[in-house]
Amino acid sequence: MKVSTRVEYGLIALTDIVLHSVEGESVSAPDISKRQHISQKYLEQILLLLRQAGFIHAQKGLRGGYVLACPPDRIALSDVLNALDQNILADMDPKEDPGTLGAVINRCFWDRINQNLNQYAKETKMSDFAEQCRNRADDAWDLYVI
């Protein structure tokens, strides 16, 4: 499956905000850009999409940045994915003649993949997703220091 950079970076940006907005503190675009190695100009476009979808609010001022518009346990991963790309969770539409083996195999394979992806995305909240990411990052960065 190929995911657009808009979806990839949007999910990264929102997860970064969830992980770094302790007690409602704002997270700045330059900080996200630096931490995640995303062009700030492109990141701003993605943050605009997330803001328009109602996931984040922008705060102006010295300590400005982005904050979550609602608790992360009320944001479904499916809502985020659909806000960034309305086709990502859409069912595959086989282009082949429905009577061919290729079409049947595609339906069997892609229907199952789509069902699993949709179920996971609907059931998973951003709070859980961010915690999974934090745990994996912690595991990946375990260092032995003398």
Q: In which band, very low, low, confident or very high, does the pLDDT at 108 lie, cut at 50, 70 and 90?
A: confident
Percent of the residues in the chain that have a pLDDT greater than 90, as a whole number = 60
Q: How far apart are CA 112 and CA 65, in angstroms?
A: 40
The answer, yes or no, to whether residue 29 has pLDDT greater than 90, is yes
Residue 51 belongs to a domain:
yes
Q: How far apart are CA 89 and CA 93, in angstroms?
A: 12
Which residue, chain included where needed, has tokens 């904050």?
A: 67
The predicted model gives 125-143 an average pLDDT of: 82
Q: Which two tokens stand for residue 24?
A: 């409602």
Domain with 34 in it: 5-90+125-140
Q: Which residue has the higher pLDDT, 141 or 76?
A: 76
CATH code for the domain in which residue 72 is found: 1.10.10.10
The predicted model gives 93-107 an average pLDDT of: 76
The predicted model gives 124-136 an average pLDDT of: 94
Q: State the pLDDT at residue 91.
A: 59
Task: State the total domains in the chain.
Answer: 1
Residue 116 belongs to a domain:
no
Q: How far apart are CA 129 and CA 137, in angstroms?
A: 12
Residue at 60: amino acid letter = K
pTM over 0.85: no
Name the least confident of 16-25, 67-76, 90-99, 106-115: 90-99
